[in-house]
Amino acid sequence: MTIPIAVIDYDMGNLHSACKGLEISGALPIVTNSKEKILAAAAVVLPGVGSFDPAMRQLRAHGLVEVIEQAISSGKPFLGICLGLQLLFESSEEGSEPGMGILKGKVRRFCSQPGLAIPHMGWNQLELSKKDHLLWQGIEQPAQVYFVHSYFVDPKDPSIIAAKVTHGDQTVTAAVALDNLMAAQFHPEKSAKTGLKILSNFVKLSSKL
């Protein structure tokens, strides 16, 4: 059975690659900003490419903040990707707009260091914090995934951190998980076999709920 998964369209996401990865993983991606379609789907994905403030303005302009909150509170699996992770938090050093505040904490910028590339771009190793989480089932270690970001989330509650990554001498959050809410700073849809396995795990989780 193909699992219908809503991919939220707010004019800031890399929708094509996210949808392609979900299709390969057994989902039927539905690109939409419709409240009815989002809440009717088996699961929801919030992708994101770009800057924090414009993204939050777009979400609010489309009336999507409340829809996202409803989707998460309903218990259906929710996956944020890259900027889609950062928007779940309260605020960002990248701008002045308030975030959704679904998760407590702030988005921070990497500290400048001699020889440190910012943005953090390319392949890097995941350091799993919740090794038994369903997203990581069947992931071969060490797992390499693909990042493109200059900012990272700093959760107030460290227990929600599902994976970390080290860039320079900074070890930061690479993924979070809290009940049915999951989100990754890296791009699973661009992370080859490992990323597709993560998406496949998400799709399988969506089929069980």
Residue 59's φ and ψ, nearest 5 degrees, are: -60, -45
Distance CA 28, CA 159 (A): 32
Q: Catalytic site residue 127?
A: no
Distance CA 168, CA 152 (A): 14
- Contact of 177 with 135, CB cutoff 8 Å: yes
Query: Which one is catalytic: 19, 82, 149, 167?
Result: 82
Query: Which one is catalytic: 19, 120, 149, 189?
Result: 189
Helix pair 192-208, 15-24: axis angle to 10 deg: 70
Distance CA 65, CA 151 (A): 21
Q: Catalytic site residue 19?
A: no
Q: Catalytic site residue 16?
A: no
First to last CA, the chain: 14
Query: What residues act catalytically?
Result: 82, 187, 189
